[in-house]
Amino acid sequence: MAETFEPKIVAFVCNWCTYAGADLAGTSRTKYETNVRIIRFPCTGRIDFMLLIKAFQNGADGIIVSGCHPNDCHYTSGNFHARRRWMVFKSLLDFMGFPSDRITFSWVSAAEGKKWAELVNETTDSIRSKGPFTDYRTLDYTLLTQLENEGIAD
Amino acid sequence: MDTNQYIPYQVRIADIIDEAPLVRTYKLEFTDPSANFTFKAGQFAEYGVFGEGESTFCIASSPTREGYIECTFRSSGRVTKALSNCEINDIIGLRGPFGKPFPIEEWYGKDIVFITGGIGLPPLRCVIWNVLDQREKFGKVSIYYGARTVADLVYKEELENWKNRPDVDLFLTVDPGGETKDWKDNVGFVPTIIEQNLPSSKNAIAIVAGPPILIKMSMPILAKCGFANDKIFTTLENRMKCGVGKCGHCTVGKTYVCKDGPVFTYEEVLQMPQEY
Amino acid sequence: MELKLISSSDIAVFVDGLLKAGKVVVAPVLKQSGKVFFKPVQSFAEVATDYIQTAFSAKEVVFPKVEELFTYQHNEEGGLDIKDHLDRIPETVVWGLRPCDAAGFDYLNKFFLQENPDAYFKARYDKTTLVTMSCNKCDASCFCTSVDSHPGDTKGSDILLTAMDDKFYVEVMTEKGNILINSNSALFTSTDTLSKEAFLAKPLTHFSMDEIKDKIQNAYASVEWKQASMGCFSCGACAFACPTCTCFDIQDEGTQDHGKRVRCWDACGLSQFTKHSSGHNPRNTQTERRRQRLMHKFKYSVENLGVVSCVGCGRCIRVCPSHLNIFENIQSVTK
Amino acid sequence: MKELQIKAAELLENGTVNLLIGFCEDLGKRLVPCFIETAAEANILVFNQECKNNLSVYLHKKEVKDAVKIGLVANVATLRSVLQLLSENQLWSLTLTYLTVNGAGELVVLRSAEELEAYVQANFPTCRPEDQEMLDKLNAMSREERWAFWKDQLSECVKCYACRAVCPMCYCTVCTTECNQPQWIKTSAQTSGNFEYHTMRAMHLAGRCINCGECGRICPAGIPVHLLTAQMNQEMEQEFGGKTGWSLKGGYAMNTFKPGDKENFIK
């Protein structure tokens, strides 16, 4: 483990606004943490909740989901549908005891390069303070393999 | 500790031939020389891409060719798609050989009729080369092979080789509408081609493999030619996972296609419940 | 075969002694949902005593719902390091399973080890000792007497305990049983044979195996299959609760660089079980799948292994969302 | 019970119904679904408060759909799920006749979708007290406690898919669990795969489930999976208004939106 824990943040962003915002942050030389890995989607409406679970399972410690402000959506209603989906998904994760505060939802328009940089820095600091997210990845054992994993067998 | 049948051999892809759209032939060599893998014509193996799973198809090369094995597959499911993305020198897993082989020793001195279509040729090609490599032990050899279009024909250069051999009668065909301008051979479904050149059933055995529709259409014609049901051999294609008669996916009635087959005489197939 | 007695109070001492000796004891535990499951216990206090049958069978000890076949890891030379973990399986005592479960283990042993022996099953089975508790009560789903077994049957178990008022009548059947007894022999006093009849449950007998074995021959074409399987939803509950269902699926989990290949339970009732990648499905409707399940248990396994693979525990009836009844179905299709 | 049997026999006799799905008692005195095609068999029909199975799930079965004219002996939850299915444009190819017993014990026969809607709205079921109590207990827990609770429960799941099989709302021809390109849900019943499966199931049923509770009641491993969708239902009713299985027009909350939807969790 490195001395300071470097979180892996996965960002699911919509192509028309947030990705352009991130691009603007780049062209205007705004510095922001490098822990974020950006995945481009045509719209937040296309981001499937299963992708977030897969990201957590494959090693993500924090997730940013960001897209166009309401009424800015290139496909007119993608972000409205997404908003409802994230509201339901966030409460489902809370109900199942999943640390849904590791997922940050936001609207970042193409002109808000600075907001994107602040968003990434904020998220990285908060996830860094929370530490690595291993709950999900250490779930896998059954009756007897459970004992093998707990080393009783050794 | 007895052998653990689930640990695969590691084999390296030595050569890749693109037979037809989505159909590839891999030449596989064993990375571990002490493997001395031996098999008989008609047996199959489980080819595994690590991280994706395992897929079942026959060993297409003849046991008379030492040092390597070949397999031909069409990319259709998750594993075969991953398999078709592999390149030369990649390592894949191989388990086997599984199943009962064709009883080639019983066919010495007999005429042999091969009937197959499309992707059904690989399981029979292994037998064909096994027969042709000891050609003098057998009577007449005739091969009826067809595919949907000219491009779908597999082993194109070997088909040429068989066509030019005097001791092999090859009846090549493509489905109506599948022929190209310079296509000189027959046009029509394989069963109709068989009817045009009826094989004699005296002292002969027939082997049929390929899509179920081909098997269903060819059987009555062979019966008309006088082939007894126990003189017709076929391979059953069922979903298989373990290959050793334990996982239950391939069962047809009490028979485990992987352990008791995949080679059956048509008589045995008729006794099974119609669930294949 | 040795016969012993042990007082009821010493049972707790015996089991706790096994735990202290480092053995893993898997015993029925009453869960908050009101159902009883086989779980590893840390003390005898956790063991449930007042139950007819556990929800799932104890086969999970020797045939887990998920079992790692091997892990693989790419090494520098471009090959793969493949390792299985057969050496890490603990000594296990399955406590308090019923005679029908033990008969189930007997079938599993035949199925997995008679031909192409399965290394994983053998490793777990050799390290497992079965301490069976004969049944003093049963319910309408139990039909062990219809499949050549009975509530006091010793088949398949290493030790059979029969509760008799304040003591247990101990029948030690195998060498494994002896080792267990000798680990704390002070608790046991020897005795001569006692009759268990008075302490055993009396389940109804619906048919006999000889009667079914010949009538099942032409049951395949019976018209009753459709009505018998109308209530079926094509889920896997009956197969996963059954002590003798052995179908499994092999899946890879991980990336192309490293990961593991696991074997997990599968069920012939599930619609994808026999589906080819071309879409062709030899058993496409629920009627065919339900027929396969019953024909396999009462006909095909007799032809392949010489023994009916149903032990009459009735779990598939209790666990089925619409309580489809296996022995009623067998009676209706073999009329 | 007598009038139910007489009415059923009459419906079967005069051909308004080819197949009647109801309840009868099996050897073990348990209430099990039964499928009656002739008037003579109608005398085995039984109906009381203990009949909990949601029989509307059988309306998706090929062997049942072939009968086209189908009778359904149903409790209110089953009627509510048929109403929700009709609002999702399912089952319109069938002519359905419903037999039920209302609170006062009288036999009620509903012959059309409108009658069904009126009856369901008049006797709209509320959340069962024991479920509400469990929901409140869970919501009162801290996040870590809830995680421990669901981790322990979902480690018991063996992925037999009985919860999906008994759910009338789960009628997809190819379920996400059966998709292996990409492998969304792990096939093996390990806890992480179970979490994926139950999260996906709850999300796909959010705003559609009518809280009949069958999935939790019949789970062989005794996992209260019905609480997941019950919680989602309650939150979506508060947030987006509208009730599932209330009217033929339905209105699935997840494929519409309002500008004023909740936004306080979005930066």
Biggest alpha carbon distance in chain C?
Answer: 69
Instruction: HSE, CB side, 13 Å, CA atoms: give it for residue A141.
Output: 11
Residues B94, B108: one domain? no
User: Is A3 a domain residue?
Assistant: no
Boundary residue ending a domain (B98, B119, B135): B98
Q: Are B38 and B67 in contact (CB under 8 A)?
A: no
For residue A143, pLDDT over 50 is answered with: no
- B-chain CB neighbours of D180 within 8 Å are 77-78
CATH number for the domain spanning A91: value is 3.40.50
- In B243-271, which positions are buried (b, 16+ CB within 10 angstroms) versus exposed (e)? bbbbbbbbbbbbbbbbbbbbbbbbebbee
At residue B198, does pLDDT exceed 80?
yes
Lowest mean pLDDT among B1-5, B145-149, D216-220: B1-5
- pLDDT value of residue A153: 32
**pLDDT per residue over C260-287, tens digit each?**
999 999 999 999 999 988 888 999 999 9
Same domain, B56 and B128: no
Best of A14, A69, A80, A84 to disrupt the D interface (most D CBs within 10 Å) is A84
**Euclidean distance between CA atoms C291 and C299, whole angstroms:** 11
pLDDT at A151 over 50: no
* Strand bridging mode A62-67 / B9-20: unpaired
Contacts of D72 in chain C (CB under 8 A): none
Q: Which of B153-157, B175-179, C128-132 is modeled with the greatest confidence?
A: C128-132
For residue A147, name the pLDDT band (cuts at 50, 70, 90). very low
pLDDT in tens, B255-265: 999 999 899 99
B154 shares a domain with B42: no
Rounded to the nearest angstrom, the minimum Cα separation between C97 and chain A is: 16
Enumerate neighbours of A (3 or more CB pairs within 8 A).
C, D
Mean pLDDT, residues B20-30 taken together: 92
| CATH code assigned at B45 | 2.40.30.10
Q: In chain C, what percentage of residues exceed pLDDT 70?
A: 100
Containing structural domain, residue B214: 104-235
The pLDDT of residue B32 is 85
In the block, residue with structure tokens 């957590």 = A56
Considering the domain architecture, whether residues B186 and B153 belong to the same structural domain is answered as yes
Q: Assess if residue B127 is contained within a domain.
A: yes
Domain identity same for B93 and B211: no
Out of D62, D214, D220, closest to residue C319 by CB: D220
pLDDT tier at A137 (50, 70, 90 boundaries)? confident
Q: What is the mean pLDDT of residues B76-90?
A: 93
C23 lies in which domain range?
2-333
Per residue in A103-126, pLDDT tens? 999 999 999 999 999 999 999 999
Kindly provide the ipTM of the predicted complex, given to two decimals.
0.91
B113 and B225 part of one domain: yes
Confidence of residue A68 (pLDDT cuts 50, 70, 90): very high
**In a 3-state reduction of DSSP, which class is residue B248?**
coil
- The stretches in chain D having pLDDT less than 70 are none
Predicted confidence (pLDDT) per residue in C136-152, tens digit: 999 889 999 999 999 99
pLDDT score of B44: 93
Residue B252 belongs to some domain of the structure? no
Q: Is the pLDDT of residue A152 over 50?
A: no
Query: In whole angstroms, what is the distance from residue B22 CA to residue B3 CA?
Result: 35
Domain layout of chain D by residue ranges? 2-122, 129-255
- Are residues D254 and A85, on separate chains, in Cβ contact within 8 Å? yes
Judge if B85 and B178 occupy the same domain: no
Q: Do B6 and C288 touch (CB under 8 A)?
A: no
Contacts of D155 in chain A (CB under 8 A): 139, 142
**Chains meeting D at 3+ CB pairs closer than 8 A?**
A, B, C
Based on the structure, what is the number of domains in chain C? 1
| Chain B residue with Cα closest to D186 | B52
Domain range spanning residue A144?
Answer: 9-149
Distance from CA of B261 to the nearest CA of D (A): 28
Q: Which residues of D touch A97 (CB under 8 A)?
A: 143-151
Residue of C nearest to B32 (CA): C79
Q: B205 pairs with which residues across the strands?
A: B112
Measure CB to CB from residue D161 to each of C141, C236, C323 and give the nearest one.
C236
Contact between residue D256 and residue D239 where contact means Cβ atoms under 8 Å apart: no
pLDDT digits (tens, 9 = 90+) for C292-317: 999 999 999 999 999 999 999 999 99
Please name the member of D155, D190, D203 whose beta carbon is closest to the beta carbon of A92.
D203
The whole-number pLDDT of residue B2 equals: 58
Residues B64 and B122 in one domain: no
> Across the interface, do C299 and B254 touch by the CB < 8 Å criterion?
yes
- Write out chain A residues lying below 8 Å of D223, CB-based: none
What's the mean pLDDT in A73-101?
92
Residues 192-231 of chain B with CB under 8 A from chain C are 212
User: Per the CB < 8 Å rule, is A70 touching D259?
Assistant: yes
> Residue D218 and residue C12: Cα distance in Å, rounded?
34
- Nearest residue in D to A105, CA atom: D266
First to last CA, chain C: 41
Contact of B201 with B226, CB cutoff 8 Å: yes
CA dist B251 and C273 (Å) reads 11
User: Average pLDDT for residues A130-144, to the nearest whole number?
Assistant: 72
CB-based contact B81 D183, cutoff 8 Å: no
Q: Which of C26, C66, C88 sits opposite A148 (nearest CB)?
A: C88
Chains that touch B (3 or more CB pairs under 8 A): C, D
Number of structural domains chain A divides into: 1
Q: What is the pLDDT of residues D40-86, one digit of tens each?
A: 999 999 998 889 999 999 999 988 999 999 999 999 999 999 999 99
In a domain, B42, yes or no: yes
Asked if chain C contacts chain A via 3 or more Cβ pairs within 8 Å, the reply is: yes
| B254 in any annotated domain | no
Nearest CA in chain A to D151: A139
Contact C237 D162 (CB under 8 A): yes
Q: Are residues B45 and B122 located together in one domain of the fold?
A: no
Put simply, the chain C residues between 197 and 226 with a CB less than 8 A from any chain A CB are none
Nearest CB among D145, D176, D192 relative to A136 is that of D192
Q: How far is D56 from B218, CA to CA, in rounded Å? A: 46
C60 Cβ under 8 Å from any chain A Cβ: yes
Q: Does residue A142 surpass a pLDDT of 50?
A: no
